[in-house]
Amino acid sequence: MRIMAILSALAGAVGLNCCDRTAGPPETPAIPGAKQVCQTADSVRVSHLGQLTCPADWDSLKGPPANAVYGRATSVKILQSIATGQIWFPNSTRYAMHLDFARTILGYPAAKYNTTWNDNYSDSPNRQYVLATLTHYEGPDLWVVQLFPGDDLSSDRLAKLMKSASDSTWIGQKLVYLPANDSALARAVRAQVAVVTPNAVYGGETFQSLNTGIAYGTLVRAGHDTVGTGRFSPRDIVLTDGIPNDLPTVAGVITTEFQTPLSHLNVLSRNRGTPNMALRNAWSDPVFASLSGKPVRLEVTLLGWTLREATRAEVDSFWNARVLPVPPALPLDSSPGLVRLDSLNRNALPRVGAKAANFGVLTRLASLHKNAFRVPEGGFAIPFAAYLDHIRKHDIAPLIDSLLADSSLLEAASARRAALARLQARILQAPVDPVLLAEISAAIRANGQYTRMRFRSSTNAEDLAEFNGAGLYSSYTGELDNPKKSIEDALRKVWASLWNERAFLERSAYRIDQRRVAMGVLVHRSFPDEGVNGVALTRNIYQPEYFGYVINAQQGEVSVVDPPVGTLSEQWIYYPFPDGSLGDATLELLARGTLDGGAPVLTEAEAIHLGKTLEPIQLEFCKLLGGNLRESNRYGMDVEFKLDGPARTLYIKQARPLP
């Protein structure tokens, strides 16, 4: 089976000052009353079994889960003959794919791969086998059967599969079915088989891998509400009792609450290349307590994590060997004048910033793919020149020069915050050029419909292939003839956000020339009553070798990247199958959102429509940004979307390259 929704795992602690969670699960407990006559315990020689009669049988066949979504798990593949009902459990380490086993043991002709093999992933009359996976999720102790998300196996065949699997294993009635999507759930209900929801699997887990990697540094414990204001070294690995609102430049992060994979915290970790994981009991774990304040080595993988004490020499060697990223050259064109929507494209980037330039690309794509999606109406851009003129006219440049000349501010947190606050206050207090305000007001009135507008940051130090900059700057709403939400205040607030502390520190970490940073502003109509907002990645972050788009969505205006504590976003994987080998595009539901009683955020039709919309966006930006066109279906873009109004119209509001 090619795709399954599973997240990987950790096991038990090893030693007082070493915690190793990658060695696999502990011995599977026997089920009371079950027959315990093992077939074999020889994982080296066994090719497959027809029954799993005890935990040792499982151990002889098990392999890693196919996909990293839910938590610690091991898996064994299942093949069942439709004609005879015979069932096989292959050695999952020896046979990575169902096809490998079918060719080697069942004699399936290699020549028929392109003509008949894919019939085994649909309810075709020519289907010969049912292909499934049996997975043990350790956290909730669930034994789960899963099918390929696009498999439309009939209810009758599903019922036979579940009965055969139950009868052929010591697991028995504990075996349940995890439907990949709503269509699969409907067939399971008709089959009257026991089912489990994705949220039930997810909720039983204690570990979450967000960004893999290795880090050496000092393990530091910090309350989540103090992380953003605390003083940390880039060599600190921070353990926090929740999810912090901000994250300084550190070597790694461990939270005790699960994170949204597309959260600002994880985006920062991905941008920096630093390990990021969640472990619910880490704050009280005696191993973490014993290592607090000591040099450690942390490794986070999709399959788990390891933490051990390290020597100072190891730490120094690791950091001395690190190659710093080449700082991006910041494009800067100071040509004045508002930039109309029809002039926004990648050529406009040096004048208005990447966000506004990419918005122009999206606008063109929307016109080419009519009825697929819209971009927010009333769009235009305020160039860097307006910000630079504001700085020059009001003699703010000396404050910037003084700030950048004082290298001690990188370490002195209080002095740094005071200096940045003074700079931002000057930007906010200085009046905006009345000629510029008149031009902006005229541009807003020219759209003829919307007067409440969103002013969005579009710097020359964000949304670049070399520097993502997600979450560093701020956007604000302004409305014509509304003094409480004036367009002047919105504009100045966006300008001032260029000097947010997190932005200043992140640019410093990348050795960016901050004298060249400038703020452009993308303006378009706001969405006061949006139905859904979300973020999609055009890369399968859970199983990178396969095509797939990860979609996160929330009801209304609830943030996907900074969700309320303890809440989940709805999450899907959309599989495009560009070669058509496995039929039409399909979906896998990873989790329902926990807001609004767990009600669906997107319908399957809406998620499919969004996925199909992402395909031309991915291809276009792959071309524009110099990606490998032969691998365009793997090209990573971070795309923000909304569903608006009673018709739930799809809007694409932003697209930027993934690091």
pLDDT band at 125; cut points 50, 70, 90: confident
- What pLDDT, on a 0 to 100 scale, did the predictor assign at position 581? 54
- Tokens found for residue 139: 């956290």
Q: List, in order, residues 6 or more apart from 513 with CB less than 8 Å away.
A: 327, 330
CATH architecture of the domain with range 530-657: 2-Layer Sandwich (3.30)
Model confidence band, residue 24 (pLDDT cutoffs 50, 70, 90): very low
- Separation between Cα atoms, residue 607 and residue 589, nearest integer Å: 10
> pLDDT digits over 535-554, tens only?
999 988 887 777 899 999 99
Q: Where in the chain is the domain with CATH 3.30.470.20?
A: 530-657
**For the ranges 282-286, 419-423, 623-627, 652-656, which has the lowest average pLDDT?**
623-627
Q: Is 112 left (phi over 0), alpha (psi -120 to 50) or beta?
A: alpha
pLDDT surpassing 80 at residue 287: yes
What pLDDT does 389 receive? 97
**Of the candidates 70, 57, 43, which has an alpha carbon nearest to the alpha carbon of residue 142?**
70
Q: Is the pLDDT of residue 325 over 90?
A: no
Closest of 178, 125, 118 to residue 147, by C-alpha: 178
Q: What is the DSSP letter of 169?
A: B
| pTM summary value | 0.84
pLDDT exceeds 60 at position 427: yes
> Beta partners for 147?
132
Token look-up 């040792």 returns 56
Q: Compare 42 and 112 and report the one with higher pLDDT.
A: 112
Every domain of the chain with CATH number 3.30.1490.20 lies at 339-352+376-525
Structure tokens at 547: 């095509």
CA–CA distance, 43 with 63 (Å, rounded to integer): 11
CATH fit for domain 339-352+376-525, picks 1.10.1040.10, 1.10.10.10, 3.30.1490.20, 3.30.379.10: 3.30.1490.20
Check whether 177 has a pLDDT greater than 50.
yes
Give the model's confidence band at 411: pLDDT under 50 very low, under 70 low, under 90 confident, else very high.
confident
pLDDT band of residue 34 (cuts 50, 70, 90) is very low
CA 639 – CA 656 distance, rounded (Å): 7
Parts of the chain belonging to CATH 3.50.30.10: 207-321
- pLDDT higher than threshold 70 for residue 505: yes
The DSSP H or E segment spanning 99 is helix 98-104
* Least confident segment among 219-223, 227-231, 451-455, 620-624: 227-231
pLDDT value at 30 more than 60: no
Confidence at residue 43, expressed as pLDDT on a 0 to 100 scale: 56
The whole-number pLDDT of residue 33 equals 37
The pLDDT confidence band at residue 161, using thresholds 50, 70 and 90, is: very high
Alpha-carbon distance of 108 to 114, in angstroms, equals 12
- Looking at residue 256, its amino acid is T
Say which residue, 590 or 204, is predicted with more confidence: 590
Contacts of 462 (CB under 8 A, 6+ apart): 353, 354, 355, 468, 469, 470, 472, 473, 656
CATH architecture of 207-321: 3-Layer(bba) Sandwich (3.50)
What is the full DSSP assignment across 174-210? GEEE--SSHHHHHHHHHHT--B--HHHHHHT--EEEE
